[in-house]
Amino acid sequence: MKRKILNLLPQFLCNCILKLYYRITKSSILLKDSKVNAGSFLEDYNYLGRNTHFLDSYLGLASYIANNSIIKRTKIGKFCAIGDNVRTSLGIHPTNDFVSIHPSFFSLHPPVKLAFANEQLFEEHKYINAEKNYVVEIGNDVWIGNNVLIIDGVTIADGAVIAAGAVVIEDVEPYSIVGGVPAKEIRKRFNEDEIIFLLDLKWWDKDLKWIYENKEKFNDINIFTEYKSDKK
């Protein structure tokens, strides 16, 4: 109900109320000119940089997004670091069968005031879930460098690193480092056993007390993997 009420408010006022709410109740930092709408959710201890737009998306615990990024319809996990000028929800256009790629011929809501279609003839986004909430999913402990573009329908798994300037057009495996146009795997961050251990442990789902108690172990993967998963 509260979100429905917010949607009835002018966009500027809605943005101001939400930013104040997240600053006070969620220990989050939202800088000048950042924008968040009623369709989004920030979990806790988050950060949005200057002129970053976070729309209809989910931001997990302690994840942050730097300046001038536009994140739409994206689910982001915990402890992620996202750089400047990152873009998601880019949309897609037909490249086969349709004579023209222009939305006026297939969309009920083209960006220009010229429409020839009487019905939606082409899906303009590739969603990752049946509810069609999100077009991109980013896992936990993911680092995305500056000027990265992520195409609709992509899932970036836990622990991955996306090099600056990459264009990600396909799914990224756990703890992979990828880069280039289009993005290709460069190497893995850890060996196979270490990756399996980390994915099984899911340290990002531990409570903050556990993280504080084990914070020194995060400096060395060899020490960290000595942790026994049956401990609390």
**pLDDT tens-digit profile, the chain (232 residues):** 356 566 656 777 777 888 888 888 888 999 989 999 989 999 999 999 999 999 999 999 999 999 999 999 999 999 999 999 999 999 999 999 999 999 999 999 999 999 999 999 999 999 998 888 999 999 999 999 999 999 999 999 999 999 999 999 999 999 999 999 999 999 999 999 999 999 999 999 999 999 999 999 999 999 999 865 444 4
Question: How far apart (Å, rounded) are the C-alpha atoms in residues 85 and 70?
Answer: 7
Q: Answer yes or no: are the C-beta atoms of 168 and 156 closer than 8 Å.
A: yes
pLDDT at 4: 59
Integer angstrom CA distances of residue 38 from 7, 11, 69, 181: 6, 9, 18, 34
Structure token pair of residue 202: 């899911």
Q: Where are the beta strands (DSSP E) in the chain?
A: 29-30, 35-36, 41-42, 47-48, 53-55, 58-59, 64-65, 70-72, 74-76, 81-82, 136-138, 143-144, 149-150, 154-156, 161-162, 167-168, 176-179, 184-188
Q: Is 109 an active-site residue?
A: no
pLDDT at 231: 47
Counting Cβ atoms within 10 Å, is residue 119 exposed (0-12), middle (13-18) or buried (19+)? exposed
Structure token pair of residue 194: 């270490």
- Prediction pTM value: 0.90
pLDDT at 130: 85
Give me the catalytic one of 53, 93, 102, 125.
102
